[in-house]
């Protein structure tokens, strides 16, 4: 019953854009994703003390579920408006194994590398370097505080993307740090649990003073 209309659309699109239908379809999927992202409302971010941040997040069974796709859109909007570089679903009240890594240079992280915001579903750390490195972290759920946190410098990760495909990626330095920070949220941990000493904690204002010093020296 549906064969004929789809064929017709297919032919029309192929003629119009001079491209195979599947490419057009991909384009439309990306366009609709983009449009729905614009429409999704910004969510409030849960702060430390809320029990949901201490729960173990549940795996996601169906990535194509409309609610999951809407949750990803809401997280992308929330992240963009909060100028964050990463966000985990429990931070907006959903205890699900979903995180977004979105490294880009900005006021909060001026030295961050640029990348396309990436939603990672049911993420795993497959392997990691022996080497760890301390670096500054903040968290939208822990306002006004920065901490020096040791993380693996290099990790290999697996995750399902928002289109349902399983991906494997090697992440290094700041991007690896973001992933580990967000992954911790799925295990009910925050960066404060990882600092080696309370002397490694500073206020946001003091952190920006430190940045000024490191620019000069």
Catalytic residues: 182
The nearer residue to Ni ion, 36 or 54, going by C-beta atoms, is: 54
Interface segment toward Ni ion; rule CB under 5 A; list 47-55, 115-123, 135-143, 150-158: 135-143
Provide the minimum distance between the beta carbon of 187 and Ni ion in the complex, in angstroms, as a whole number: 12
Nearest to 43 by CA among 79, 67, 69, 68: 79
- Contact positions with Ni ion (CB under 5 A) in 57-86: none
Per the CB < 8 A criterion, the answer to whether 138 and 100 are in contact is no
Give the residue, chosen from 53, 139, 171, 195, that forms a contact with Ni ion under the rule CB under 5 A. Answer: 139
Q: What is the dihedral of CA 36, 40, 45, 51, to 10 degrees?
A: -80
Interface segment toward Ni ion; rule CB under 5 A; list 19-27, 29-37, 46-54, 132-140: 132-140
Residue whose entry in the numeric block shows the structure tokens 């990691």? 128
- DSSP structure string for 97-122: SEEEE-----SSSTTPPP---EEEEE
Provide the minimum distance between the beta carbon of 214 and Ni ion in the complex, in angstroms, as a whole number: 23
Residue whose entry in the numeric block shows the structure tokens 């579903």? 121
The nearer residue to Ni ion, 79 or 139, going by C-beta atoms, is: 139
The nearer residue to Ni ion, 98 or 139, going by C-beta atoms, is: 139
What are the residues binding Ni ion (CB under 5 A)?
Answer: 139
């Amino acid at each position: 019953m549906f064969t004929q209309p789809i064929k017709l659309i297919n032919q029309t699109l192929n003629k119009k854009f001079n491209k195979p239908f599947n490419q057009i379809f991909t384009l439309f999927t990306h366009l609709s994703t983009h449009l729905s992202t614009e429409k999704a409302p910004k969510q409030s971010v849960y702060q430390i003390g809320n029990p949901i941040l201490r729960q173990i997040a549940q795996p996601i069974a169906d990535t194509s579920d409309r609610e999951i796709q809407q949750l990803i859109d809401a997280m992308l909007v929330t992240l963009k408006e909060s100028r964050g570089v990463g966000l985990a679903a429990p931070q907006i009240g959903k205890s699900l194994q979903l995180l977004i890594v979105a490294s880009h240079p900005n006021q909060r992280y001026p030295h961050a590398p640029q990348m396309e915001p990436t939603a990672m579903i049911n993420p795993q750390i497959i392997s990691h370097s022996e080497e760890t490195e301390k670096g500054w972290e903040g968290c939208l759920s822990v306002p006004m505080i920065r901490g020096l946190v040791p993380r693996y410098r290099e990790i290999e990760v697996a995750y399902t993307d928002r289109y349902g495909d399983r991906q494997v990626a090697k992440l290094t330095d700041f991007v690896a740090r973001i992933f580990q920070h967000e992954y911790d949220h799925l295990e009910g941990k925050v960066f404060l649990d990882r600092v080696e000493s309370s002397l490694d904690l500073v206020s946001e204002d003091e952190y920006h003073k430190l940045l000024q010093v490191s620019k000069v020296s």
